[in-house]
């Protein structure tokens, strides 16, 4: 295995944190970006950046690419606003687009020239099962669907450079944020669980392992793809 240097946005919690630990344990250098960077146990370098702030994000990325030669990027940060159709607020919509899409575009534009120069790179966009349709997620689902479009477009543009671009679309995953909004035994928990044929939620480490594979040297012939990691939720209901 060749030790690599990877950049992860939204790295302080949930899937991003699990991935950071997995990559660091495998011997890679991890640089994480998060709104709050007060975790001394983070397995790498954690940088405080508000990824919803375009100027702050630009400055931070410029500094990072001067310090590190990034081999891979995971656009993991996300923001959701739960609003039914008649109550979608355009300011909230813009905030969701800004955090999910602007940050992914800015980070990718910052790091891919170096990857191209070195002839090797991995870009992973974290999408969501919600792209297949879920009530009250107009803004979030639109942003996550756009990340799949980014994935396909960028994969074509970079196909001959040694850089692969893929997406991972998790289903319901038992992160801290998920549990804050869906307590054990709650109606929300049951609603999500009913849509997963496996009958359980994913763990952050399970999503991270799929991402880690797509970032590895073994995934070199895979590009432009979206991998659903969702306990079967994307294929339909269980037969019993």
Length of the chain: 240
State yes or no: pLDDT of 240 exceeds 70: no
pTM of the model: 0.95
Look at 20-24, 43-47, 115-119, 129-133 and tell me which has the smallest mean pLDDT.
Answer: 129-133
The residues pairing with 170 across neighbouring beta strands, listed in sequence order, are 229
Q: Sign (positive/negative) of CA torsion 104, 150, 82, 129?
A: negative
- Nearest one of 239, 236, 14 to 129, comparing CA atoms: 236
Q: What digits encode the pLDDT tens for the residues 132-143?
A: 998 888 999 999
**Antiparallel, parallel or unpaired: β 5-9 and 29-34:** parallel
Q: What digits encode the pLDDT tens for the residues 187-197?
A: 888 888 899 99
Give the CA distances from residue 201 to residues 177, 196, 209, in Å, rounded to whole numbers and listed in that order: 13, 8, 15
Rounded mean pLDDT, 76-102: 92
User: Active site includes 140?
Assistant: yes
């Amino acid at each position: 295995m060749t030790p690599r240097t990877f950049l992860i946005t939204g790295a302080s919690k949930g899937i991003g944190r699990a991935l950071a630990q997995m990559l660091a344990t495998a011997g890679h250098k991890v640089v994480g970006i998060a709104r709050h960077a007060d975790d001394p146990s983070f397995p790498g370098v954690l940088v405080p950046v508000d990824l919803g702030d375009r100027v702050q994000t630009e400055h931070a990325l410029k500094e990072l690419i001067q310090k590190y030669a990034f081999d891979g990027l995971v656009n993991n940060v996300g923001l959701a606003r739960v609003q039914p159709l008649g109550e979608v607020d355009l300011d909230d919509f813009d905030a969701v687009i800004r955090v999910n899409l602007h940050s992914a575009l800015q980070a990718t534009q910052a790091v891919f020239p170096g990857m191209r120069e070195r002839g090797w790179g991995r870009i992973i966009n974290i999408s969501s099962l919600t792209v297949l349709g879920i009530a009250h997620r107009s803004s979030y689902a639109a942003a996550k669907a756009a990340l799949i479009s980014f994935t396909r477009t960028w994969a074509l543009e970079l196909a001959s450079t040694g850089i692969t671009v893929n997406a991972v679309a998790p289903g319901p995953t038992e992160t801290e944020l998920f549990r804050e909004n869906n307590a054990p035994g709650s109606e929300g928990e049951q609603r999500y669980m009913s849509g997963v044929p496996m009958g359980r939620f994913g763990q952050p480490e399970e999503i991270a392992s799929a991402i880690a594979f797509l970032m590895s040297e073994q995934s070199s012939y895979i590009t432009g793809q979206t991998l659903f990691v969702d306990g079967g939720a994307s294929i339909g209901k269980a037969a019993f």
